[in-house]
A and B are shown apart, each in its own frame.
Chain A
Amino acid sequence: MIAFLKRSEGLWLFSRSPAVILATITTIAILIGAVFAPWIAPVNPYDLASFSLFDGLLPPLWEDGGRPQFLLGTDDQGRDMISSILYGARLSLLIGIAAMAIATVLGVSLGLAAGYYGGRFDAIVMRIADVQLALPAILTALLIDGIARGLLPADVQQELRVWVLTLAIALSLWVNFARTARASTLVQMNKDYVQAAIMMGQRPIRVMFVHIFPNILGPLLVIMTVDLASAILLEATLSFLGIGLPADSPSLGTLIRIGMQFLLSGEWWILWIPTLFLVALVVSINVLGDFLRDVFNPRLR
């Protein structure tokens, strides 16, 4: 096993690129922070009793007037910035990963089947994908959000907000997966091992998932990482525009929207700290995605 690790091309490349190592550390740190937010964060930003208005608008520790218990300062409500960001990242990552998962399952199944069966089925799926691609992601999200508002009673709406948002993001991302899966499947279909499996009389579903799927995983993994970053960004955009999550359960995007109000009034930290945090997260994930692509596709190196 150790000999295998030593020879592994991916690990070797990894150990030689500081940017990728930094990106990995950042991503893992943020992930841990987000997952364990309830235990790590100093206060619970959802619990109104845990903070006080008198602590409002305190600057970070290193500025004049900063206090040790609020390392990165507080917002106008007196909420600790660190806690808000950790909880916000938790929500953002949850929505991002869930959306990506839904998009992967939907896109890969449709793409695989389209590539395998070809003909009319392929044409229909890919035309739907084209139409989807013509609609901007925000428009799709607005549409679904609108439908949800129209159909669901107000109290259910609040509860399902996160899921409506997730679904909206997933629907605007599946096309990428479908296209990649279809293109890779078409390549594999010409290979003799697939022909052999079909010839032997194996069931189509088995050929698709047992034979073809493991062989197209490489490009899909790359798309998954890159699309995770876009899902997080998309969520932030929607929340920033006010279509996403409400202010009482803030995601990173909501935090940035709140911070916008203080942009010109001197309290820079309320806007800039969540923004930098989001940028760091998205850039790290994208760097990882690039790295994965290099590993799976040595010709691009």
Chain B
Amino acid sequence: MLVIKDLAVKFPNRFGDVTAIEDVDMVIKPGEIHGLVGESGAGKSTVGAAVIGLISSPGYIAHGELTLGDTDLRSLTPEQQHAIRGDRISMIFQDPQTSLNPLMTVEDQLIETIQTHSDVSYSEAHKRAVDLLEEIGIQNAKERIKAYPHQFSGGMRQRVVIALALCTDPELIIADEPTTALDVAVQHQVLDLIRELADRREIAFMLITHDIGVIAQVADRVTVMRNGKVMETGETKQVLGNPQHPYTIALMDAVPPLDEKIARFRLPVEEAQAQAVADKGVKAKEWLLEGEQTPPMGLDVRNLTMRFRGARTSLFKKPESFTALDDVSFTVPGGTITGLVGESGSGKSTLAKVLTGLLTPQEGSLTLGGEELPLGKARGRLHPSRRLTQMVFQDPYSSLNSRHKIGYILAEPLWLYGLIDDADERRAMGAAMLDLVGMPPDAMDKYPHQFSGGQRQRIAVARAILARPKFLICDEPTSALDVSIQAQVLNLLKDLQATFGLTILFITHNLSVARQMSDNMVVLRNGRIEEQGPSEQLFSNPQAAYTKTLLSLTPTMPKEWRQAS
């Protein structure tokens, strides 16, 4: 049983001590999964690091108690701490790709861990390793144990990581975002495994995650953190179903539900104020509407096939090609949002690149607003679609040039497409547009790194809109953002779409987000379309088996919890 009392961790820097977490209290009983949820910077991982004694230098525990069973974790010498790590406390990291040594077989890594912590013979350790792999559901463990990590799939690899954590029969496992890097189906399996281990082996789990759906699915108790402080703690059903703290309530409101479409996300007060500011962007709004005299443009994708040349396996054989998109056809009706969903590797991003002309497909045709779009390199630099099609990228940290001021970034489309000739006028329009997306106009003279992810994404949206596009591609625009920021950006996109009659292709891996945003849906898998249709119909009555599985595996909150809030 882990008891944390009044824990505070500080990081000294040259301006004094920065408090990472304080007043953290928590009790995790054996067999209990304790969810630790919060947005980035909330201090979730610091709690885990403090427990396992791996706070990154120069951070230190300022005060508080940490007890595991009857051991006081703070009074241990570094050697004793080292002995406890991996023996009584284990850890599962986010990315199975990097937490396993790629040059050692799974067998060697398991046996090494077992022999470090207990004095057993090689053959005994080997037997235990095979048993472990069988226990966590790897079939044919005797053979598979000889394999290297890269020979396992992502989900299997995370299972191996869990097996490593289990080697020494720990009392407590700290799982730091264990399923964030995994696809929905695999995530489901890993979460099931964690639940099963907690029940069967009576292991206490600290499950650190930003995903409330994950918490709702497996956690017994949950602690909500923000800015290093505990906001609310209690049984999962209690905290998520009937939140008391205003922050938790706001957080729950921001979670997109999978089972119904809501018009807008309810947002806390500060956001309402930001929306009031947004009404000031009248100038930008009028200017945009002036450009919207033409009817909305739809996109028609016909028989698109994109093949990449594969790796050369022999000097004399032609390399085999890899088909990223296979005969993809769909229509995005003008003035509507079409959601494009699929797991990683399904070809979503490739499709976006083909649409924007960054890649040249082997076959197929594209039609935007009734006119044929040249494919790939055939689309000249000055082709009108360059302006009509704009894109919002996934990672707002890389989509804005960090060496340019926001004012410059926003003026660029106006200058490039010759929309406004006067430099001062361009600047004024950029500022008005910032208003429209809910950002203060003094942002004009700042650099991108001075803004948070959500603010940057707003700027990226402003840049895209300033080109007066008819067709907007959003490639996972919120997957790098925290859930409350995601709600803000999604609201913004909905508002802009409704006001200016934009046609949007919304690419995402998150079905709940897709449901909130889209009028029509396309489900992509391995480069092929599994199912497409009006989204309400698709969600309420999915036809393809793949869509059904996806829907059933997406972690979600019971409906009654949400309505209670």
Q: Which residues of A contact B403 (CB under 8 A)?
A: 214-215, 217
Contact of A200 among B380, B394, B416 (CB under 8 A): B416
Which residue from A195, A199, A211 sits with its C-beta under 8 Å from B386?
Answer: A199
**With A201-B383, A201-B386 in contact, is A192–B358 under 8 Å at CB?**
no
Q: How far is the CA of A199 from the CA of B14 in the complex (A)?
A: 43
Contact between B416 and A193 (Cβ–Cβ < 8 Å)? no
Which single member of A192, A198, A214, A217 contacts B393 (CB below 8 Å)? A192
Q: Are A191 and B398 in contact (CB under 8 A)?
A: yes
- The answer to whether B402 and A192 touch across the interface, beta carbons within 8 angstroms, is no
* A284 CA to B357 CA, complexed, in Å: 50
- The verdict on A296 contacting chain B, using a C-beta distance below 8 Å, is no
B interface, over-half SS? loop
Contact A203 B381 (CB under 8 A): yes
Given that A193-B400, A200-B467, A201-B381 are contacting pairs, would A12 and B14 also be in contact in the complex, using a CB cutoff of 8 Å? Answer: yes
Chain A residues within 8 Å of B356, by CB? 199
**B385, closest chain A residue (CB):** A201
Distance in Å: Cβ of B386 to nearest Cβ of chain A: 4
Tell me the nearest residue of chain B to A206, going by C-beta: B416
Please provide the chain B residues from 295 to 319 with a CB less than 8 Å away from any CB of chain A in the complex.
none
A132 to B394, CA, bound (A): 41
**B399 within 8 A of partner (CB):** yes
Task: Tell whether A202 is near chain B: CB-to-CB under 8 Å.
Answer: yes
Does A28 interact with chain B (Cβ within 8 Å)?
no
| Cβ-defined contact, B358 with A196, below 8 A | no
* CA distance in complex: A198, B395 (Å): 17
Q: Is the CB of B386 within 8 A of A192?
A: no
In the complex, the answer to whether B382 meets A199 with C-beta atoms within 8 Å is no
Verify A199–B416 contact, CB threshold 8 A: no
- CB-nearest residue of chain B relative to A199? B356
Interface residue B391 (Cβ < 8 Å from any Cβ of A): yes
Extra pairs beyond A195-B358, A201-B382, A214-B403 (13, CB < 8 Å): A12-B14, A191-B398, A192-B395, A193-B400, A193-B402, A195-B393, A199-B391, A200-B413, A200-B416, A214-B401, A215-B402, A215-B403, A217-B403
Chain B's closest residue to A212 (CB) is B401
Per the bound structure, the CA–CA distance linking A198 and B386 in Å amounts to: 10
A193 CB contact (under 8 Å) in B382, B383, B386, B398: B398
The listed residue (B390, B402, B416, B467) touching A202 by CB distance below 8 A is B416
Q: Which chain B residues in 64-119 approach chain A with CB under 8 Å?
A: none
**Roughly how many angstroms separate A195 CA and B416 CA in the complex, as a whole number?**
15
What's the Cα separation between A203 and B401 when bound, in Å? 16
Q: Please, which residues of chain A bring their CB within 8 A of the CB of B14?
A: 12
CA distance in complex: A91, B355 (Å): 57
A198 to B391 CA separation, bound complex (whole angstroms): 12
Give the shortest distance, in Å, between A196 (CB) and chain B (any CB).
6
* Interface bracket on A: 10 to 19
Report the 9 A-B pairs with minimum CB-CB distance, sorted nearest first: A214-B403, A201-B386, A192-B399, A192-B393, A191-B398, A201-B381, A193-B401, A192-B398, A199-B356
In the complex, what residues of B have CB within 8 A of residue A211's CB?
401, 404
Counting chain B residues whose Cβ lies within 8 A of the other chain, the interface size class is 20 to 34
On A, residues with C-beta under 8 Å from B are: 12, 191-193, 195-203, 211, 214-215, 217
A residues in contact with B398, CB < 8 Å:
191-193
Enumerate chain A residues within 8 angstroms of B393, measured Cβ to Cβ: 192, 195-196
Q: How far is the CB of B179 from chain A (nearest CB, A)?
A: 26
Please measure, in the bound complex, the distance between the C-alpha atom of A213 and the C-alpha atom of B463, giving whole angstroms: 21
The residue among B381, B402, B403 with the most chain A CB atoms within 10 A of its own CB is B403
A-B contact pairs, 7 of them (CB 8 A): A192-B393, A192-B398, A193-B402, A199-B356, A200-B467, A211-B404, A217-B403
Q: Which residue of B lies closest to A213 (CB)?
A: B403
Question: In the complex, which residues of chain B have a beta carbon less than 8 angstroms from the beta carbon of A200?
Answer: 386-387, 390, 412-413, 416, 467
* Cross-chain contact of B357 among A191, A193, A199 (Cβ < 8 A): A199
A217 to B402, CA, bound (A): 12
Kindly state the separation between the CA atoms of A211 and B402 in the bound complex, as whole angstroms: 9
Rounded to whole Å, the gap between the CB of A115 and the closest CB of chain B is: 16
* B404 cross-chain contacts in A, Cβ below 8 A: 211, 214
- Provide the residues of chain B in CB contact with A195, threshold 8 Å: 358, 393
Q: Which residue of B has the minimal Cβ distance to A214?
A: B403
A174 to B393, CA, bound (A): 36
Shortest Cβ distance from residue B376 to the other chain A in the assembled complex, whole angstroms: 12
Question: Which residue of chain A has the shortest Cβ distance to B402 in the bound complex?
Answer: A215
Q: A191 vs B401: C-alpha distance in the bound complex, in angstroms?
A: 9
Chain B residues within an 8 Å CB radius of A193: 398-402
Could you give, for residues 369-387 of chain B, a 1 whenever the CB lies within 8 Å of some chain A CB and a 0 otherwise? 0000000000011110011
Chain A nearest CB from B167 CB (Å) reads 32
Contact A215–B416 (Cβ < 8 Å) = no
B358:A198 contact, CB within 8 angstroms: yes
Interface residues of B in 399-422 (CB under 8 A from A): 399-404, 412-413, 416
Residues of A within 8 A of B402 (CB): 193, 215
Chain B min CB distance to A197 (Å)? 8
The minimal Cβ–Cβ distance linking A85 to chain B, given in whole angstroms, is: 41
In the assembled complex, the CB of B299 is this many whole angstroms from the nearest CB of chain A, namely 15
Residues of B within 8 A of A196 (CB): 391, 393, 399, 463
In the bound assembly, the distance between CA atoms of A193 and B397 in angstroms comes to 9
Given contacts A12-B14, A192-B393, A192-B394, contact A199 B358 (CB under 8 A): yes
- Docked Cα-Cα span, A192 to B386, in Å, equals 16
**Least CB distance, B377 to chain A, in whole angstroms:** 11
CA distance A193 to B404 in the complex (A): 11
Q: Which residues of B contact A198 (CB under 8 A)?
A: 358
- Complex Cα distance A203/B382, Å? 10
Determine the distance from Cα of A197 to Cα of B386 in the docked complex, in whole angstroms. Answer: 10
- List chain A residues, Cβ under 8 A from B401: 193, 197, 211, 214-215
- Chain B residues lying within 8 Å of A217, measured Cβ to Cβ, are 403
Query: Do B358 and A201 touch across chains, with their CB atoms under 8 A apart?
Result: no
Docked Cα-Cα span, A192 to B395, in Å, equals: 8
In the complex formed, the residue of B with least CB distance to A7 is: B15
Contact assessment for B399 and A201 in the assembled complex, using a CB-CB cutoff below 8 Å: no
Which chain A residue shows the least CB distance to B384? A201
Instruction: List chain A residues, Cβ under 8 A from B381.
Output: 201-203
Query: What CA separation (Å) do A201 and B412 show in the bound complex?
Result: 11
A199 to B393, CA, bound (A): 12
Closest to A193 in B: B401
User: A202 CA to B386 CA in the complex, in Å?
Assistant: 10
Question: Are A201 and B416 within 8 A (Cβ)?
Answer: yes
CB distance from B473 to the nearest CB of A (A): 10
How far does the Cβ of A129 sit from chain B's closest Cβ, in whole Å?
25
* A215 and chain B: residue at smallest CB distance: B403
In the bound complex, CA of A14 to CA of B358 (Å): 44
For chain B, residues 341 to 393, give those with C-beta under 8 angstroms from any C-beta of chain A.
Answer: 356-358, 380-383, 386-387, 390-391, 393
Task: Return B469 CB to nearest CB of chain A, in Å.
Answer: 11
Q: Distance (Å) between the CB of B536 and the closest chain A CB?
A: 32
Q: How far is the CB of A295 from chain B (nearest CB, A)?
A: 15
| Bound Cα distance A147, B78 (Å) | 68
Give Cα A229 to B372, complex, Å. 57
**Cα separation A198 to B416 with both chains bound (whole Å):** 12
**What A residues does B387 contact at CB under 8 A?**
200-201
A148→B390 CA distance, assembly (Å): 55
Shortest Cβ gap from A223 to chain B (Å): 18
Min CB distance B309 to A, Å, is 13
Residue of B nearest to A203 (CB): B381
A104 to chain B, nearest CB (A): 18
Q: Which residue of A lies closest to B382 (CB)?
A: A201
Shortest Cβ gap from A117 to chain B (Å): 13
Nearest-neighbor residue (CB-CB) of A16 within chain B: B14
Most buried by A among B358, B398, B463: B398
Q: Mark B33-50, 1 if CB is under 8 A from A, else 0.
A: 000000000000000000
